[in-house]
Structure 1
Amino acid sequence: MKKERTIDLTLETSRLILLAGDQVLTYKRTIIDEIMKSVDTLSNWIAFFNNDFDSNKLDEFIKKTTDLHTNERYLRYFIFEKESHRFVGSIVLQDIDTRLPSCEIGYWTVAAAQGNGYMTEAIRFITRYLIEKQHFVRVEAYIDVKNVKSIATIERCDFEREGTLKNADLSADQSTLINEAIYAITTPVYFK
């Protein structure tokens, strides 16, 4: 029996609004503009932003990632400043396993919004939401060991480093093998 997804599509922190699903399409132009300004930074760590990246691919990406009917184990939030509605980044919950429940979290911030603590705020909020409201027992992140800013962010969010996976993936430009640090927040599990 498959569990229905009941994760909220709108979440709010003190400074941010996190939106998922087709409500994001209202902000598509703003998202495309901010990401296009940030491609040079994002392409260092995320393969999607390499290989002939352009606004058409981004438009397709937004449509695909907001279609909840085709993404059963995947949910992407687009993050906006609450006051200005300026797009600041994205968090994805992927490999959602409803049996446990658990997921992997991925995240990135557009260049203009970096250094403001937005991603730390968003990760802390969504992790607490998943554990307290959705009863997740594990939220994990895989990060290139050379991505020291991302590692600092996840550590500020109280994720624990569980180890290093050697030769675990390819670099964002697909040219070399990388080692990945695995971080997680877990909750105690009691069997009755």
Structure 2
Amino acid sequence: MNPLLFEVPLQIETERLILRAPHKVGDGEIVNQAIIDSLYELKPWLLFAQELPTVEETEINLREAYINFLKRESFRFLIFDKDSNDFIGVTSFDNIDWDIPKSEIGYWINTSYSGKGYMTEAVKELVDYGLDSLNFRRIEIRCESTNYKSRAIPERLGFVLEGTLRNEDLSADRRELTDTCVYSVVR
């Protein structure tokens, strides 16, 4: 089946969260504020956090993500608290290969909300949706070997650590080689 024919909802709900595609004008402002609030924690791990993006740059990035959502190339979801509507973070299906079919999951959280299980809850929902509704045969989570907070999520969710790729990537600041842990769940 052509991926453009998949009915992918713009919003998915969990017990405490709403995962929503970045399709609303103005999403850039709330996401940019979370980047500002969390820059110190995001900078060691994420390329986009090396320099603070402007609100306009963040808005453009989110609109491009929505275009990719519609083209079924990736699915980015903004995470909101169901009760307060506070923005919590981002999770996404990236590097989708519809021939297998498989995907990677990425994520980052506004520091104010870390340690409360929100990201684990959001990623679990994506995993379930990917395996059950998109029929993915494989879902990966890749993260730097020293990013223990990020590694905790696939470990909590029962992913298998398939291995550590040594000197596989550059650090977010592009200054040194890093090792990448590859976790997966298969159907």
TM-score normalised by length of structure 2: 0.91
For residues 12 and 34 of structure 2, the distance between their equivalents in structure 1, rounded to whole angstroms, comes to 21
Report how many residues are paired: 186
Q: Counterpart in 2 of 1:6?
A: 7
For residues 125 and 69 of structure 2, the distance between their equivalents in structure 1, rounded to whole angstroms, comes to 25
Q: Which amino acid aligns with 1:13?
A: T
Q: Which amino acid aligns with 2:33?
A: D
Contact 1:160–1:183 (CA under 8 A) maintained in structure 2: yes
- Decide whether aligned partners of structure 1 residues 124 and 50 sit closer, same or farther in structure 2, where only a CA change above 3 A counts: same
For residues 182 and 58 of structure 2, the distance between their equivalents in structure 1, rounded to whole angstroms, comes to 28
Other structure's SS at 1:174 match: coil
Contact 1:170–1:177 (CA under 8 A) maintained in structure 2: yes
Q: Counterpart in 1 of 2:96?
A: 96
1:20 maps to 2:17? no
Alignment of 1:1-192 (within 5 A): 2-4=2-4, 5-23=6-24, 25-51=25-51, 53-68=53-68, 71-187=71-187
Contact 1:139–1:186 (CA under 8 A) maintained in structure 2: yes
TM-superposed deviation, 1:61: 1.6
Q: Which amino acid aligns with 2:152?
A: A
- Which stretch of structure 1 is more off in the superposition, 171-180 or 125-134? 125-134
- Which stretch of structure 1 is more off in the superposition, 31-40 or 49-58? 49-58
CA offset digits 1:144-188 (Å, max 9, x no partner): 00001111122111111000111111101111110000000001x
For residues 56 and 28 of structure 2, the distance between their equivalents in structure 1, rounded to whole angstroms, comes to 12
Structure 2: unaligned runs, 5 residues or longer: none
CA offset digits 1:108-144 (Å, max 9, x no partner): 1011111110000011111011111221111001110
For residues 121 and 94 of structure 2, the distance between their equivalents in structure 1, rounded to whole angstroms, comes to 19
TM-superposed deviation, 1:70: 7.2
Q: Which amino acid aligns with 1:91?
A: T
Other structure's SS at 2:40 match: helix
Other structure's SS at 2:93 match: strand
Contact 1:36–1:55 (CA under 8 A) maintained in structure 2: no
For residues 93 and 159 of structure 1, the distance between their equivalents in structure 2, rounded to whole angstroms, comes to 16
TM-superposed deviation, 1:93: 0.8
CA offset digits 1:50-108 (Å, max 9, x no partner): 14533332222222212247754211111000011100010121111122221011111
- Which stretch of structure 1 is more off in the superposition, 92-101 or 45-54? 45-54
For residues 27 and 3 of structure 2, the distance between their equivalents in structure 1, rounded to whole angstroms, comes to 30
Contact 2:22–2:62 (CA under 8 A) maintained in structure 1: no
